[in-house]
Structure 1
Amino acid sequence: MQLSIAHLYPDLLDLYSDRGNVIILQKRAEWRGLRVTVDEVTVGHEPDLSSYDILVMGGGMDREQGIVAEDLQKRRQNLEKAVAKGTVILAVCGGYQLLGNYFETSGGQRIPGLGLLDIHTVGAKERMVGNVVAEMEIDGVKTNVIGYENHSGKTYLGAQVQPMMKVIKGYGNSGEDAFEGVRQGSIFGTYLHGPLLAKNPALADHLITLALRRRDLSFTLDRIDDQLEARTQQKLYKRLVESR
């Protein structure tokens, strides 16, 4: 079976090495014997996004995000078609914000988003920075997720979405409700860098499985030896949570 990945705007949205998420998806699929293709899609490229199993979009500086926001408006129907066909989307930080209804700057300027996610973001004067530990349910199992956040936008969830995780340590979406990220259908939005999937292989495997089940509902990933990754995550958890 083949897994096809599109990395959206890698030249504009790679503020904290978010391209590492693409590498992890690729390698963890290849280690199971899957064939993987990775295409880079940026301004001026117009592929059919519904032909991909996973779309990955990272975060960027304000100038770059402005360029992407304008270009994304031209891709609205393309992205809507991809979502309708079950393509999995992982959007981090700025990419996460741009999929929402709007971003309102601290100065009151409202920048329209794509409206794929029922969220809105409001700029704050203080940045929310630091390591994050959260808890996410993956296939019915509560799983620790570790990442790093650096954002000034406060994101609020609407009625059509569910939070992706519950914050144990850190700010999360707004620093007000103990939630981090959002899950809406096949779309996952989060503020967590790291890169996120390098620190959380269970989440990477979950995204791969969901993506390939759009073609084969019975698809499951073969188990691989993740003992090293598990020990590393346990050490991080103890350092960030148990020792505070």
Structure 2
Amino acid sequence: MTDVPILGEPPESALPAEPGHEGKGEIHVVHLYPREMSIYGDLGNTRCLAARIRRHGYTPVVHQHHPGQPFPEQAHLVVGGGGQDSGQVRVEADLEVIADRLRDLVAADVPMLMICGMYQLFGNAFITVEGKRLPGLGILDVTTQGNEKRMIGPVVLQTEFGDVVGYENHSGSTTLGAGQAPFGTVRSGLGNNGEDGTEGARLRHVVGSYLHGPILPANPRLADALIGWAAEVATGRPFEAGTLDDAIADEARNRQVRRLVS
């Protein structure tokens, strides 16, 4: 377990809080398997969260959880990213060890953001092209079938957090269970499977999605929803948001929406 810095960089907790808004409390962020499952820029989600937590006036404490290590004692927000099939194989045994802890955190409404490979591992199973069934955690009621063809390209979603943009790059085709809510509906792109118009999955405060980018810097409303839920878990009080200038992120997102959605 490693508190900031991440991968040898300066600690995000060194970023200044908004003047007059320091000391609202610590928010502990746990990044699952940053070496094995963070190959498409998804580490940027953790950096974005740490920076925005600080700017909202809270103190971010970022932990890295690696296979074989004890899970952090405090966890108010959990994130995971995408990885190659070999990376998923390397973390499966450890996921089985920490599965009950993760399920308890979900039941306690701890927010989680699971992208691509970790989204699949949070589901019921991943079925390889050869037909081998690899069990998942079963937190999200989704099942993924491996395919020869990849789904690649920019995406625009309609979600409860407004338009969400990102970039998908996955060969797995994911199907939602009968009662499983999606993260969003596809306005442009392929989403879970290219057929039913859904993307990702949502349960309580858990969000699973295929969107890289990384997703959070381009979608501040989603980032702040996760931070708000985490702040309530961490402090037992309502989230006290600071005033952040998201004009550049909003313009970048709106341009992608205009480019892809007629």
TM superposition score normalised by structure 1:
0.93
CA deviation profile, 1:150-198 (whole Å, cap 9, x unmatched): 1111111113421111100100011111111110112110000000001
- Cα 1:160–1:46 change in 2 (3 A) is farther
Q: Which residue of 1 aligns with 2:8?
A: none
Q: Which residue of 1 aligns with 2:250?
A: 230
Alignment pair present for 1:55 and 2:74: no
Q: Secondary structure at the match of 2:261?
A: helix
Q: Which one of 28, 37, 42 corresponds to residue 13 of structure 1?
A: 37
Deviation at 1:217, TM superposition (A): 5.0
Q: Which one of 145, 156, 160 corresponds to residue 137 of structure 1?
A: 160
Q: Which residue of 1 aligns with 2:178?
A: 159
Q: Which residue of 1 aligns with 2:140?
A: 117
Alignment pair present for 1:208 and 2:227: yes
Equivalent AA in structure 1 for residue 228 of structure 2: T
Q: Aligned partners of 2:238 and 2:101: how far apart in 1?
A: 27
CA deviation profile, 1:32-77 (whole Å, cap 9, x unmatched): 221110011011211246x211111001011111111222111111
Q: Which residue of 2 aligns with 1:179?
A: 198
- Identity percentage over the alignment? 40
- Contact 2:63–2:72 (CA under 8 A) maintained in structure 1: no
Equivalent AA in structure 2 for residue 60 of structure 1: G
Equivalent AA in structure 2 for residue 186 of structure 1: H
* Structure 1: tracts of 5 or more residues without a match: none
Deviation at 1:241, TM superposition (A): 2.4
Moved more, 212-221 or 179-188: 212-221
* Structure 2: tracts of 5 or more residues without a match: 1-24
Q: Which residue of 1 aligns with 2:59?
A: 35
Equivalent AA in structure 1 for residue 93 of structure 2: E
Please provide the CA RMSD for this pair. 1.3
- Contact 1:118–1:161 (CA under 8 A) maintained in structure 2: yes
Equivalent AA in structure 1 for residue 114 of structure 2: A
Q: Secondary structure at the match of 1:213?
A: helix
Equivalent residues, number? 237
Q: Aligned partners of 1:44 and 1:160: how far apart in 2?
A: 34
Q: Aligned partners of 2:260 and 2:152: how far apart in 1?
A: 14
Deviation at 1:113, TM superposition (A): 0.6
Q: Which one of 64, 78, 93 corresponds to residue 87 of structure 2?
A: 64
Alignment pair present for 1:73 and 2:96: yes
Moved more, 58-67 or 230-239: 230-239
- Contact 1:48–1:78 (CA under 8 A) maintained in structure 2: no
TM superposition score normalised by structure 2:
0.87
- Contact 2:218–2:250 (CA under 8 A) maintained in structure 1: no
Q: Aligned partners of 2:252 and 2:204: how far apart in 1?
A: 30
- Contact 1:160–1:184 (CA under 8 A) maintained in structure 2: no
Q: Which residue of 2 aligns with 1:191?
A: 210
Q: Which residue of 2 aligns with 1:25?
A: 49
Q: Which has the higher strand share?
A: 1
- Cα 1:161–1:223 change in 2 (3 A) is farther
Q: Which residue of 2 aligns with 1:94?
A: 117
Q: Aligned partners of 2:111 and 2:187: how far apart in 1?
A: 26
